[in-house]
Amino acid sequence: MNDVRSPSRAKQPTVNARIVPAGTLDVLSRDEISRLRDASAAGLHGLLRSCALAVLTSGAMHDSARAMLDRYPDFDIQVLQQDRGLKLELKHAPAQAFVDGRIIRGTNELLFAVVRDIVYVSTQIAAGQFELTDSSGITHAVFDILRNARVLRARFDPNLVVCWGGHSISREEYDYTKDVGYELGLRGMDICTGCGPGAMKGPMKGATIAHAKQRHRNNRYIGLTEPSIIAAESPNPIVNSLVILPDIEKRLEAFVRIGHGFIVFPGGVGTAEEILYLLGILLHPANAKLPFPLVFTGPKVAAPYFEQIDRFLRLALGEAAAKRYQVIIDDPAAVAHAMQRGIEEVRDHRIAQHDAFFFNWELNIDLAFQKPFDPTHAAMAALNLQRDQPVHELAANLRRAFSGIVAGNGKEEGMRRIDEEGPFEINGDPEIMRALDALLKSFVEQHRMKLPGSRYVPCYRIVAADGRGGR
With a cut of 80, say whether residue 63 has pLDDT above it: no
pLDDT of residue 64: 56
pLDDT of residue 5: 44
**Sign of the dihedral defined by the CA atoms of residues 460, 462, 468, 470, in that order:** negative
Quote the CA–CA distance of 464 and 470 in Å, as a whole number.
8
Alpha helices of 21-134 — where are they, by DSSP H? 30-37, 45-56, 65-71, 105-126
Q: Please give the domain boundaries of the chain with CATH numbers for all domains.
A: 3-127 (3.30.1850.10), 137-367 (3.40.50.450), 369-464 (no CATH)
> Could you tell me the pLDDT band of residue 41, with boundaries at 50, 70 and 90?
confident
With a cut of 90, say whether residue 167 has pLDDT above it: no
pLDDT of residue 415: 87
Helix (H, G, I), strand (E, B) or coil at 85: strand
Work out the mean pLDDT of the chain and round it to a whole number: 89
With a cut of 90, say whether residue 69 has pLDDT above it: no
pLDDT of residue 6: 40
What number is the average pLDDT over the span 404-432? Answer: 90
Could you tell me the maximum CA-CA distance found in the chain, to the nearest angstrom? Answer: 68
pLDDT of residue 4: 47
What percent of the chain is predicted at pLDDT more than 70?
Answer: 91
Quote the CA–CA distance of 21 and 390 in Å, as a whole number.
49
Whole-Å CA distances, 287 to 146, 261, 310, 364: 23, 15, 21, 6
Helix (H, G, I), strand (E, B) or coil at 428: strand
Cβ atoms of 268 and 275 closer than 8 Å: no
What number is the average pLDDT over the span 316-333? Answer: 96
What number is the average pLDDT over the span 307-331? Answer: 95
**Sign of the dihedral defined by the CA atoms of residues 341, 267, 177, 151, in that order:** positive
Cβ atoms of 299 and 329 closer than 8 Å: yes
With a cut of 80, say whether residue 85 has pLDDT above it: no
Alpha helices of 149-222 — where are they, by DSSP H? 171-186, 202-213
The pTM assigned to this predicted structure is: 0.90
With a cut of 60, say whether residue 220 has pLDDT above it: yes
